[in-house]
């Protein structure tokens, strides 16, 4: 491992002014680094929170004014130099310099790549085409909100977390909404079957037209501007005034790959302290295929909690590396008045439902090989606090686990 940072003549450059990049910058300072810290972001906005983009920002005019991740002036107070609206285009590892699109070169002793992800695009519904929306950044959310305000029918391609949150927001705004999902159930990657079923029923009850097991075979603009005619693999045709595509993201690994760092399609490979194959270059947050010491394997997470925790961990590791990264994955989603919280694995080889989904409030324990590896909580944040402590336990009595009348106990 490279020597930790300590001197005032040293500098840290962080590329990516999202949650992970911001937390890394703050942590470097909190750990006492006295040198230069530069945070470079290609978006023109100061670091902001993405989760509201598919929820309150779509539903409520002006909500975007309250999503800054850092109070005004706080970064300047920490002595963090912000370069916003500036894209890093190359890394010269020999000279230890980052090059920005406008030609500026910034020298670093340590570089942190916190470049996050970008949306996966469909060729037949290209980003930038009138009436086609992808949702990653604030500007995307504002454009989508403007389109939803005009009403009509919204087609959501992809029944993942973002797609279903957008569907709920569209209904809240009174838009008709159809969801087109290729898989056999909603949110299959992020949620257990019991949770998918619960959410599916609620979306139907809210008037969302959910089509499972179908893809968009062809798409063509309709006569009215921004509207589309989608031909589904089932042969049906859907007319929509606007289309949102939410078919996943891919990590922004280009900078790392182009300068010869070890990357895989799943992300920039880093150790338990965030170091890449070059000990002077680190990666944090959603872009990092990171070693999670809790499981002893590499993983990439697309969640707020991970971006925050990993960004902070990597920032600290630059100055005072103590422990390798150890965090269970976790995320939440809000759809209508439903709050879903997932800690650990989101699905197991056996899922035990505790409580009655029909009552709108339940837990699901996810077991793998007899061990509880994760818990999902639907409108049950309080119960989740106790349930989380059971992660790692091997319950002998699954009936007791499923019965909300019986106490949740950690067995010896």
Ligand X SMILES: Cc1cc2nc3c(=O)[nH]c(=O)nc-3n(C[C@H](O)[C@H](O)[C@H](O)COP(=O)(O)OP(=O)(O)OC[C@H]3O[C@@H](n4cnc5c(N)ncnc54)[C@H](O)[C@@H]3O)c2cc1C
Which residues sit at the interface with ligand X, rule CB under 6 A? 15-21, 40-43, 50-51, 53-54, 87-88, 114-117, 135-136, 162, 252, 255, 285-286, 302-305, 307, 331-333
By C-beta, is 189 or 406 nearer to ligand X? 189
Distance between alpha carbon 189 and the CA centroid of its chain, in Å?
Answer: 13
Contacts 24+ apart (CB under 8 A), 3-7: 4/318, 4/319, 4/320, 4/321, 5/33, 5/35, 5/109, 5/110, 5/318, 5/319, 6/33, 6/34, 6/319, 7/34, 7/35
**Residue 405: CB atoms within 10 Å:** 5
Query: Minimum distance between the CB of residue 328 and ligand X, rounded to whole angstroms?
Result: 13
Nearest to 96 by CA among 105, 86, 83, 85: 105
Query: Minimum distance between the CB of residue 302 and ligand X, rounded to whole angstroms?
Result: 5
Query: Minimum distance between the CB of residue 8 and ligand X, rounded to whole angstroms?
Result: 26
Query: Minimum distance between the CB of residue 397 and ligand X, rounded to whole angstroms?
Result: 32
Query: Minimum distance between the CB of residue 13 and ligand X, rounded to whole angstroms?
Result: 11
By C-beta, is 140 or 239 nearer to ligand X? 140
By C-beta, is 290 or 366 nearer to ligand X? 290
* SS3 state of residue 196: helix
By C-beta, is 40 or 156 nearer to ligand X? 40
By C-beta, is 228 or 331 nearer to ligand X? 331
Query: Minimum distance between the CB of residue 190 and ligand X, rounded to whole angstroms?
Result: 10
Q: How far is CA 241 from CA 60, 231, 366, in A?
A: 20, 15, 40
By C-beta, is 346 or 401 nearer to ligand X? 346
Query: Minimum distance between the CB of residue 86 and ligand X, rounded to whole angstroms?
Result: 7
CA torsion through residues 220, 222, 224, 228, sign: negative
**Residue 221: CB atoms within 10 Å:** 14
Q: For the sheet containing 263-264, what is the strand order? A: 263-264, 267-270, 288-292, 297-299
Query: Minimum distance between the CB of residue 135 and ligand X, rounded to whole angstroms?
Result: 5
By C-beta, is 162 or 352 nearer to ligand X? 162
Helix (H) or strand (E) holding 203: helix 193-205
By C-beta, is 5 or 135 nearer to ligand X? 135
Helices (DSSP H) in 240-301: which residue ranges? 254-258
User: Which one-letter DSSP state was computed for residue 10?
Assistant: -
Length of the chain: 412
């Amino acid at each position: 491992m490279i020597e930790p940072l300590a001197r005032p003549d040293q500098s840290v450059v962080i590329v990516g002014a999202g949650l992970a990049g911001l937390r890394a910058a703050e942590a470097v300072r909190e750990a006492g680094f006295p040198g230069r810290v530069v945070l470079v972001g290609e978006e023109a906005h100061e670091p902001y929170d993405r989760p509201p983009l598919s929820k309150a920002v779509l539903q409520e005019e002006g909500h975007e004014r309250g999503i800054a991740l850092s109070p005004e002036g706080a970064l300047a107070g920490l002595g963090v130099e912000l370069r916003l609206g500036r894209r890093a285009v190359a890394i010269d590892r020999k000279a230890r310099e980052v090059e920005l699109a406008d030609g500026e070169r910034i020298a670093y002793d340590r570089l942190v790549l916190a470049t996050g992800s970008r949306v996966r695009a469909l060729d037949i519904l290209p980003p930038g085409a009138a009436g086609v929306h992808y949702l990653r950044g604030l500007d995307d959310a504002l454009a989508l909100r403007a389109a939803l305000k005009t009403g009509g029918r919204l087609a959501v391609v992809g029944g993942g977390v973002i797609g279903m949150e957008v569907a709920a927001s569209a209904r809240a705004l009174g838009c008709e909404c159809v969801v087109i999902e290729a898989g056999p159930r909603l949110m299959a990657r992020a949620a257990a079957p019991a949770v998918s079923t619960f959410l599916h029923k609620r979306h139907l009850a809210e008037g969302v037209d959910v089509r499972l097991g179908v893809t968009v075979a062809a798409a063509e603009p309709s006569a009215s501007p921004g509207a589309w005619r989608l031909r589904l693999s089932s042969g049906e045709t859907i007319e929509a005034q606007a289309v949102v595509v939410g078919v996943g993201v891919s990590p922004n690994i280009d900078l790392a790959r182009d300068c010869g760092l070890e990357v895989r399609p799943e992300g920039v490979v880093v150790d338990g302290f965030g170091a890449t194959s070059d000990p002077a270059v680190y990666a944090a947050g959603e872009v990092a295929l990171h070693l999670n010491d809790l499981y002893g394997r590499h993983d990439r997470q697309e969640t707020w909690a991970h971006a925050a925790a990993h960004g902070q961990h990597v920032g600290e590791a630059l100055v005072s590396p103590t422990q390798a990264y150890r965090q269970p994955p976790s995320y939440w989603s809000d759809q209508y008045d439903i709050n879903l919280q997932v800690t650990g694995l989101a699905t197991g080889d056996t899922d035990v439902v505790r409580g009655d989904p029909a009552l709108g409030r339940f837990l699901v324990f996810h077991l793998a090989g007899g061990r509880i590896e994760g818990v999902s909580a639907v409108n049950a944040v309080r119960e989740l606090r106790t349930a989380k402590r059971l992660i790692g336990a091997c319950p002998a009595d699954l009936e007791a686990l499923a019965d909300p009348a019986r106490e949740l106990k950690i067995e010896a």
